[in-house]
Amino acid sequence: MNTIISRKVAKLQNCKVFKSKVLTPCMSIIFSLFSISSFSQVKDTVKVNQLDEVLVSAVRATSKTPVSFSNLDKKDIKFRNLGQDIPILMNYLPSVVTTSDAGNGVGYTGIRVRGSDATRVNVTINGIPYNDSESHGTYWVNMPDFASSVESLQLQRGVGTSTNGAGAFGASLNMLTDSYSDKASGEISNSFGSFNTQKHTVKFSTGLMNDHFEIAGRLSALKSDGFVDRGASDLKSYFLQGTYVGKTTLIKALAFGGKEKTYQSWNGIDEATLNSDRTFNSSGIFTDEFGKTRFYDNETDNYQQYHYQLHWNEKVSNNWSTNLAFHYTKGKGFYENYKEDAKFSSYGLAPIVINGATIKKTDLIRQKWLDNDFYGTTFSANYRDEKLDLLFGGGYNKYEGAHFGKVIWARYASQSELGDHYYDDFATKTDGNIFAKANYQITEKISLFGDLQLRNVHYKANSYETGSVNDNFNFFNPKAGLNYDITPNNKLYFSYARANREPNRTDYEGGNAKPEKLNDFEMGWRYVADKVQFNSNVYYMAYKDQLILTGKLDDVGSPIRSNSEKSYRLGLEVDATIALSEQFIIRPNFTLSSNKNIDLAVQGENYGTTDISYSPSVIVGNIIVYKPLENLQISWLQKFVGEQYMNNIELPAAKLANYFVNDLNIAYEIKPKSVFKSIIITGLVNNIFDKKYVSNGYMWDVYPYYYPQAGINFLAGLTLKF
């Protein structure tokens, strides 16, 4: 391992950044922010020995991989990790747009990358797929405060590499959980803020016992009333791992999970309400028998999810290493809704006669349940020598999900009995893939990258919503690229990737079952100098039958999509880190893009070339860091998102206005000589200029509905490490 690190560091040809005593304070600021892609390769290489080189090779891109990516590690987010979800912590990465249903980054949150929605952002945890097998979505609310157990994460834009999830289609996010610690430690972290938001976290590590064993864990509790009315969240989570470290062996057993109860806030508000009452939430509203408007107090989403992972990593020789993992995820929960004047026939009930009058409707409370299991294995082997880095492996996973509904109360019960199901559906999905990828150093300056994946998907379901589904898909996803080192400071790359993606459950409900195809072309330039690090990337993503968001939602808030026969995304991404002085660092990034449907046809009408929904053509981020004292850091964070449409026919009413928001983050660290190793005091003021803005919305026919975000709000925290 040390030999590999030495070779990679040597390739920087004794870069002055690592020698200069003058630049040391500057670099500490850089590393305490978002990792730049060039330097994060060295940093990641130094740290990956804790979770195994081959696992990281299987899921991570490096400077030798011809794709566009960004890295974050624990130090990068520790000053802002005060209760907001992982997508919000990633908000300032290039091409990223985030949103929050409750308006303050707690509860249900979402992320889009290059305009690609969450169903295309493939998420893995230690190489294990996390996206829901049926919806393809990622529900961060099920893993509250998971950021406190993440060692590092990498966001790959575009198709990325084969092993990031089952089928990356717009972006890939892979997370590595906490590495083991040599020394015993403990941590208590508490934060409080606006909207009665509070987070309480306790962490511990035994350190390596007998130089071989470590046990570590975390408990977290998070609560918030949310910015919108009744947008409350009550979240709990845990993380526990046991590690064995041998001379050539690393074994990790992990158990983590969460339980959430969140008042539903996915209805949004219309334009008139946006102007008069931005915090209004219609969820749960009903009129009682006396004509009084009320809100049902348990109009909630309830879910619990438990994950188990076992990783066995072996260094077979100086050239060979292997990884084998098994996983199991259990999820169970329900939505609860008060339904006013619901038809008996919709719930399998017969009309009743009372005093000679036939009654066909009733007020009732329903629950829509999901009870699922997801399990499988992933495996890989890595061979490395001076010129060749070869990785091959695969995975096989199975999902089993029961969907059913219950009526737990009704004003008129008809023939129903407590515990009856008014619908039942059982869905299964198997997903298997094998892959091989290699990076070969042709000359001192030129390396060739190749990546092949074969993937088989079988999905079976039978319900009123989906109809009878029994589909089998075979996908071949090839990738190839070239890296050219112009000079030690300048690197060029070019890549081509093919991706295929199966429809999700909601697509079948809409009667649309075409898989989508993507050809992704990427070309980039990376520049590394003493005080400037610069990355630029041009991409062209050509789609066939892309499943684009229509702007509509189903009855449980899931986005409805439809096929666009031909479409593309063409863009330029630029990000940089510039050390202006020992005290000042700036880190700007921007994306300029054109996102178009070609000859779009909707219900038989051709609309020609139109903008793809939820795809702003301009996204800009910036971070300015001032470090007046060694232990004091002040960060000013800025984000601009250009206008975007909420449907694909460019309806004027469907346009979301652009917005520009600013956050201020202050952190001060004290290092006492006894008791505590560190005391960190942090403060975060979100939307410091109190911008009234909307980050997301949807269309109800031709009428727009919006998700307003909070005005100025704050979070403050205290972390004690010992």
Mind giving me the DSSP string for 145-160? Answer: TGGGGEEEEEEEESS-
Domain limits at 514?
A: 2-721
Task: With cut-offs at 50, 70 and 90, classify the pLDDT of residue 625.
Answer: very high
Place of tokens 């006396």: 290
HEC string of 10-77 equals HCCCCCHHHHCCCCHHHHHHHHCCCECHHHHHHHHHHHHHHCCHHHHHHHCCCCCCCCEEEEEEHHHH
Average pLDDT, the chain: 89
Residue corresponding to tokens 């520790």: 78
Provide the b/e sequence for 608-622 (b: ≥16 CB within 10 Å). Answer: eebbbbbbbeebbbb
Question: How many C-beta neighbours within 10 Å does residue 317 have?
Answer: 8
Strand partners, 635: 625, 665
The count of domains in the chain is 1
Q: In what order do the strands lie in the sheet with 269-270?
A: 269-270, 703-708, 694-700
**Predicted local confidence at residue 673, as pLDDT:** 85
30-44, 343-357, 665-679: lowest mean pLDDT where?
A: 30-44
Contact assessment for residue 479 and residue 500, using Cβ atoms and an 8 Å cutoff: no
Average pLDDT score over residue span 315-341:
95
Asked if residue 502 lies in contact with residue 167, where contact means CB atoms within 8 angstroms, the answer is: yes
Q: Which helix (H) or strand (E) holds 509?
A: helix 505-509
Q: Express each pLDDT in 293-310 by its tens digit.
A: 999 999 999 999 999 999
CA 81 to chain centre: 15
Of 381, 373, 424, the closest CA to residue 401 belongs to 373
The answer to whether residues 541 and 568 touch, using CB atoms and an 8 Å cutoff, is yes
> What CA–CA distances, in Å, run from 546 to 51, 160, 479, 553?
36, 18, 19, 18
Q: How confident is the model at residue 467 (pLDDT cuts 50, 70, 90)?
A: confident
Give the other-Cβ count within 10 Å of 3's Cβ.
Answer: 8
Q: Is 338 left (phi over 0), alpha (psi -120 to 50) or beta?
A: beta
Question: Nearest Cα to 267, choosing from 703, 710, 711?
Answer: 703
Amino acid at the residue 229: D
Q: How confident is the model at residue 189 (pLDDT cuts 50, 70, 90)?
A: very high
pLDDT at 86: 94
The 10 Å Cβ neighbour count of residue 672 is: 11
Is pTM beyond 0.75? Reply is yes
> What whole-number percentage of the chain has pLDDT above 90?
80
Question: What does the pLDDT read at residue 9?
Answer: 37
Residue recorded with tokens 């690592």: 18
The answer to whether 428 touches 395, Cβ cutoff 8 Å, is no
pLDDT confidence of 369, banded at 50, 70, 90? very high
User: Rg for the chain (alpha carbons), in Å?
Assistant: 26
Q: How sure is the predictor about 18, in pLDDT bands with cuts at 50, 70 and 90?
A: very low
152 contacts: CB under 8 Å, gap ≥ 6: 44, 47, 71, 72, 73, 74, 175, 176
Give residues with Cβ within 8 angstroms of 484, minimum separation 6: 445, 446, 491, 492, 493
* Residues sharing a CB contact under 8 Å with residue 289, sequence separation 6 or more, in sequence order: none
Question: For 212-227, what is the mean pLDDT?
Answer: 97
CATH of the domain at 416: 2.40.170.20
30 phi, psi to nearest 5 deg: -60, -45
E strand segments, 580-689: 584-586, 589-602, 605-611, 618-629, 632-641, 644-645, 655-656, 659-670, 678-686
More confident residue, 554 or 528: 528
Are 253 and 234 in contact by the 8 Å Cβ rule? The answer is no
Q: What is the pLDDT of residues 118-157, one digit of tens each?
A: 888 999 999 999 999 999 989 999 999 999 999 999 999 9
Going by pLDDT thresholds of 50, 70 and 90, the confidence category of residue 165 is low
Mean pLDDT of 225-241: 97
Tokens of 578: 């510039």
Give me the residues paired with residue 697 across strands: 706
